[in-house]
């Protein structure tokens, strides 16, 4: 499956679950959600865990959140 399809599936299926109730807990858990998103992107791209985050966002064409 192409990488862009995997990222789209993550946005559609997983992000909606992670952001459920975000109005209640505000920005407190935002860093946890972002960490999970970065781990997913690094796993999909097949890079090491210590690869710089800005490079990951640039590779997938997303702005740094």
Q: Please report the pLDDT score of residue 44 as a whole number.
A: 93
- 3-class secondary-structure state, position 64: coil
Q: Which residue has the tokens 């807990």?
A: 25
Q: Please report the pLDDT score of residue 39 as a whole number.
A: 93
Instruction: Assess whether pLDDT exceeds 80 at residue 13.
Output: yes
- This prediction has a pTM of 0.78
Distance CA 10, CA 2 (A): 13
């Amino acid at each position: 499956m192409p990488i862009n399809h995997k990222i789209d599936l993550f946005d559609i299926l997983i992000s909606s679950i992670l952001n459920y109730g975000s109005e209640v807990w505000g920005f407190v858990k935002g860093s946890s959600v972002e960490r999970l998103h970065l781990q997913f992107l690094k796993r999909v791209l097949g890079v090491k865990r210590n690869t710089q985050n800005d490079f990951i966002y640039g590779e997938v064409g997303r702005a740094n959140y």
